[in-house]
Amino acid sequence: MKLETLDLQIIDTHTHFYDPARPQGVPWPGQDDDFLYRRVMPEDYKSLAANQGVKGTVVVEASRWFEDNQWILDLAEADPFLVGFVGNIDIDSDDFESNLNHLAENPLFRGIRLGGGALGDVADQSFISRLDQLASLDLELDLLIDSSLLLSVNTISEKIPNLRIMINHIGHVPIDGQPPDKAWVEG
């Protein structure tokens, strides 16, 4: 069957939207990033992606500010092109469970994203219990990590086999024309 005859639903599974001109600004990207530090909103992305057949996107929140999760959900309420949302919640916060449950009330909310520094001690039962809450709500864990943490991800998957885990940016493997490093390949 020719590609032209297929009715494909292309969903971009990882976009970020932000506006540094908001009163509180943004924690990411930094003002020193000449390329990324600019307004990036759904209409900007749609003007590029729709021509490529993209029908929607899942937004991954890069901000560590909890209120920015709601800002994205408000954008999604106004724009059906935003078909899913991966939030950013401080997993070590005393408010983690209530924040998770609050976001989980929205059907667009699909999980949380943790950076490598927030991955935690996989031997810590409290940390594992919080990740298990994701699985019990049928949510996913997005990880922004490098190859040094792949063994920790394996441990998490063994301890919580029903937790869906997404590794963002292919584990930060360098794409430089050289074979990936051994740790990335073995991970």
Tens digits of residue pLDDT in 87-96: 999 999 999 9
Predicted pLDDT of residue 145: 87
For the record, the structure tokens of 118 come out as 């927030």
Q: List domains and CATH numbers for the chain.
A: 9-186 (3.20.20.140)
Mean pLDDT value across the chain: 90
Task: Name the residue among 118, 157, 103 with its Cα closest to residue 135.
Answer: 157
- Do residues 134 and 104 make contact, with C-beta atoms less than 8 angstroms apart? no
Q: For the chain, what percent of residues have pLDDT higher than 90?
A: 72
